[in-house]
């Protein structure tokens, strides 16, 4: 049974700072899913003379071992581990990098009502640079923070206290939007004031609302 939507219920007067995830939240996660689950196994199989099935099975096992850690997002780590030029491979299919609908409208709106807007991502700095170059959205943010700067992934509760120390925000007056339940769980444990789950991270998949947090499909739902 699909979970029904619990829409966000807050007033913008309650919020000073907005923390926004990148992949799956602002940008279509189809790029990342296709890259790691299809493109990398394809090139890995060809490079190491494996069958496509064996290559994908081996890679999925490796991915799971470092899931929710900084290593998972570290392009240099994967380049070394797999014997591939992962940053170049991302550039080779960067035509698949897309912004979700209504994201630009939302970013313009929250700046118009004088909110402090921060991009906070687990993505490796090289991934961030590729995606900011492709989308041109970097100028919409007052701050951009990669988890590597903080020293741990967003899934770890200590990340948020370190981020607060870094950015100097009031957590009770801060909203976080993310498409990963583990991230929202860690932010909730830390005491983040407002949490929003993005229920359609990939354009190729359906909408799945959170049983635990207010959910949106697109950011136009937060313009009020």
- Assign residue 192 the CATH number of its domain: 3.40.50.1000
Domain presence at residue 135: yes
Q: Which of 95, 113, 141 is the last residue of a domain?
A: 95
pLDDT in tens, 108-166: 999 999 999 999 999 999 999 999 999 999 999 999 999 999 999 999 989 999 999 99
Q: Which domain holds residue 114?
A: 12-28+98-222
State the DSSP string of 121-174.
E-S-HHHHHHHHHHH--GGG-SEEEEHHHHTS-TTSTHHHHHHHHHH---GGGE
Output the pTM of the full model: 0.95
The answer to whether residues 21 and 111 belong to one domain is yes
Task: Kindly state whether residues 84 and 146 are assigned to the same domain.
Answer: no
Domain membership of residue 152 (yes or no) is: yes
Strand 143-146 to strand 17-20: parallel, antiparallel, or no bridges (unpaired)?
unpaired
Q: How many domains does the chain have?
A: 2
Judgement on whether residues 24 and 47 belong to the same structural domain of the protein: no
The position carrying tokens 């491979």 is 89
Comparing CA positions, the residue from 145, 183, 189 lying closest to residue 171 is 189
């Amino acid at each position: 049974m699909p979970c029904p939507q619990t829409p966000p219920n807050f007033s913008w007067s309650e919020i000073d700072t907005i923390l926004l995830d990148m992949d799956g939240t602002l940008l279509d996660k189809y790029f990342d899913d296709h890259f790691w689950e299809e493109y990398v196994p394809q090139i890995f199989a060809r490079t190491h003379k494996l069958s496509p099935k064996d290559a994908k099975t081996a890679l999925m096992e490796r991915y799971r071992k470092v899931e929710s850690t900084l290593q998972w997002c570290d392009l240099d780590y994967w380049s070394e581990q797999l014997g591939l030029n992962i940053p170049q491979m991302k550039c080779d299919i960067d035509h698949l990098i897309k912004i979700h609908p209504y994201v630009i409208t939302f970013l313009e709106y929250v700046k118009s009502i004088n909110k402090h807007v921060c991009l906070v991502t687990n993505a490796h700095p090289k991934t961030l640079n590729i995606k900011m170059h492709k989308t041109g959205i970097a100028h919409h943010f007052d701050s951009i923070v990669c988890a590597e700067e903080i020293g741990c992934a967003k899934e770890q509760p200590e990340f948020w206290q370190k981020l607060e120390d870094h950015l100097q925000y009031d957590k009770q007056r801060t909203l976080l939007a993310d498409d990963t339940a583990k991230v929202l769980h860690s932010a909730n444990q830390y005491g983040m004031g407002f949490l929003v789950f993005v229920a359609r991270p990939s354009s190729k998949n359906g909408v799945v609302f959170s049983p635990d947090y207010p959910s949106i499909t697109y950011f136009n739902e937060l313009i009020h």
